[in-house]
Amino acid sequence: MIPPQPKSLPLSGTIYQVVLDCCLRIPDRIAFVSNDGSGKSYRYSEVHEIVTRISGGLKNLGFCRGDKAAIISPNCPEWGMIYLATLAAGGIFVPFDSSWKEEEIAHTLDVSQVKFIFCSNKWFPIVNGIAVRKNLKITSVCIDSSFTPNLSDLLDSKPYISNDISPNDPAAIIYTSGTSGEPKGVILTHRNILADIEGTIRALDLPPDDTCLSILPLHHTLESTCGFLTSLIVGRRIVYAQSLKSKDLLNDIKKYNVVCIIGVPLLYEKIHNAITKRIEELPIIKKIFYRLLYKLSGFFWILGIKSSKHLFKSMRKRAGLESVKMMVCGGAPLPPKIAEWFNLIGFDFMVGYGLSECAPVVTLHRPNGIKFDSVGSPIPGVEIEISNPNAEGIGEIKVKGENTSPGYIDNPQATKELLKDGWLHTGDLGKMVKGQLYITGRKKNLIVSAAGKNIYPEEIEAALHLSPFILESIVFGRKKENRMGEEVHAIIVPNLDEMRSRFPEIGSSPDHKIVNEVIETEVQQVNNRLADYKRLIRFEIKFEELEKTSTRKIRRTVYK
């Protein structure tokens, strides 16, 4: 019988000690499954063996306490075991974004001063080329066996576990995506990450005997903390998605009876759109029946009765999502209507808020305390304060807790701006209502009108995204010529598939005149629902997807 929680709460010591203890308690349980089962799967006992041997191999290659090891690779079980082995060897783990271009990798290698980097086949020769060109003293280790040295070489080493690492020592340095400027290296200690994991476990009372599908890139702090480390600490099985194609994801979910999914809004919007499109194709009687059930589910929800699990059981089964009980969304804003839809058809769909500097989870819905337009309440051990709130209660969100970063590496000025008076200043704007946090925008994105009114672009974007004809948008302020204040502008990407279904005359090549007229009508409807000072003055249409980071956040600096 698997214990219902980790051996003890609070979690103490170091990350690798906690995970390796779990491996010894449940040695026969499967920890990792990759490539739809065709790749190597690992039991918890094997994870313990491999982690400690890689750690020994690093030590043999001259890796010392406090040294940094990076990794650049797609998601795979070896990624996580290299993470743990780096910590067990007394080092600091530096995950690289596998979508980075060569120049970004070169820059981060230069500033991070890593001594080792683990690479998949694709990146091994590229990283070696960078090291030679920039005269960097870096040892590259191939995760596969195509080049040497490789992971197999390290596995021949004698097991090693460092015993002189403090919980306050750095465990990872996370280089932020840099949507608003130069990326910074966020320091996260063992205590930071374990405190965040403990708060998440306490908030959700996670069962140990289920399966989590890993979809997000592992360098993303949400996935590495919650999808990877939290799952191992509670004894879950982690299945690495074979691809991001809808068909493959559904196959993984059905084959392994996946119970939990952690994703970003884009993933859930795709699932929502795919299922609702199928519903629209149903005969009229079945569509009416669905709408009646949905309204009934919403009525019961208001009364505090979760009837949706029974009302939509057959629909979830037909969609291939019968086993899924819990969905967690983070990383970017989610339209409230999407959160509402998932909950009203029978999932425990919980939205959270966080940032890399908080390891990352700050707030999270509880299964019995879900508000569709909020991002939940603080997890245990975390405090939130709203700084200098305005008349509506909106101000900068400040966070305090053991999960908060001690700052940025080699950047005292940025650290000083981040940490003030014992609080971490997030740069995000929001308000607290009855214990729930509501995000209103990003401080740096704030638009100030000529009359001094604050305009939150995220609010206008959310209103635009209610239109079926708008796929995505970005709203920003532009200075008026020879006048005070800013005007509200937008770049809008139309949903051409939806437009063609309503306006067949658009055809395969978008008719700019018709598209412009449709979008203009939608913008006018949004403006009619907004206060005069918030109204969009100008917009432009873009037919390509807006440029994003690997975590699907729009790179705002590109468009301002």
According to the model, what pLDDT value does residue 117 have? 98
What average pLDDT does range 402-423 have in this prediction?
A: 96
Handedness of CA 8, 437, 402, 22 (dihedral sign): positive
Average pLDDT, the chain: 91
Tokens of 486: 């800013």
According to the model, what pLDDT value does residue 507 have? 75
pLDDT tens profile 61-94: 999 999 999 999 999 999 999 999 999 999 999 9
Q: Which residues pair with 402 in a beta bridge?
A: none
pLDDT tens profile 221-248: 999 999 999 999 999 999 999 988 888 9
Q: How far is CA 449 from CA 112, 126, 444, 478, 526, in A?
A: 41, 48, 15, 10, 18
Higher-confidence residue of 178 and 406: namely 406
CATH entry 3.30.300.30 includes domain 446-559: yes
According to the model, what pLDDT value does residue 464 have? 94
What average pLDDT does range 508-513 have in this prediction?
A: 76
Higher-confidence residue of 269 and 282: namely 282
Binned at pLDDT 50, 70 and 90, residue 1 comes out as very low
According to the model, what pLDDT value does residue 482 have? 57
CA atoms within 13 A on the CB side of 162: 28
Binned at pLDDT 50, 70 and 90, residue 2 comes out as very low
Binned at pLDDT 50, 70 and 90, residue 500 comes out as confident
pLDDT tens profile 464-482: 999 999 999 999 888 776 5
According to the model, what pLDDT value does residue 559 have? 77
Helices (H) and strands (E) in the chain, counts: 20, 26
- 264-443: which CATH topology? Rossmann fold (3.40.50)
Looking at this protein, which amino acid is placed at residue 175? Y
Higher-confidence residue of 482 and 125: namely 125
Are the C-beta atoms of residues 344 and 378 closer than 8 Å to each other?
A: no
Are the C-beta atoms of residues 185 and 415 closer than 8 Å to each other?
A: no
According to the model, what pLDDT value does residue 452 have? 66
Q: How far is CA 159 from CA 20, 55, 57, 298, 470, in A?
A: 13, 7, 8, 56, 55
According to the model, what pLDDT value does residue 270 have? 86
Please state which architecture CATH assigns to domain 15-260.
Answer: 3-Layer(aba) Sandwich (3.40)
Give SS3 for 529.
helix
Binned at pLDDT 50, 70 and 90, residue 430 comes out as very high
Q: How far is CA 379 from CA 351, 352, 358, in A?
A: 12, 10, 12
Please, what's the largest Cα pairwise distance for the chain?
A: 73
Binned at pLDDT 50, 70 and 90, residue 548 comes out as confident
pLDDT tens profile 372-394: 999 999 999 999 999 999 999 99
Pairing of strands 326-329, 348-354: parallel
pLDDT at 3 over 60: no
Parts of the chain belonging to CATH 3.40.50.12780 = 15-260, 264-443
According to the model, what pLDDT value does residue 57 have? 97
Helix (H) or strand (E) holding 69: strand 68-72
pLDDT at 180 over 50: no
Closest alpha carbon to 31 in 74, 2, 53, 10: 2
What average pLDDT does range 55-60 have in this prediction?
A: 97
According to the model, what pLDDT value does residue 6 have? 62
Binned at pLDDT 50, 70 and 90, residue 4 comes out as very low
What average pLDDT does range 112-119 have in this prediction?
A: 96
Parts of the chain belonging to CATH 3.30.300.30 = 446-559
Q: What is the pTM of this model?
A: 0.86
According to the model, what pLDDT value does residue 266 have? 82
What does the DSSP assignment read for 28-48?
Answer: TSEEEE-GGGTS--EEHHHHH
Helix (H) or strand (E) holding 186: strand 185-189
What average pLDDT does range 195-207 have in this prediction?
A: 92
How many residues are present in the chain? 560
pLDDT at 169 over 60: yes
Could you give the CA distance from residue 263 to residue 212 in angstroms, rounded to a whole number? 11
What percent of the chain is predicted at pLDDT more than 70?
Answer: 95
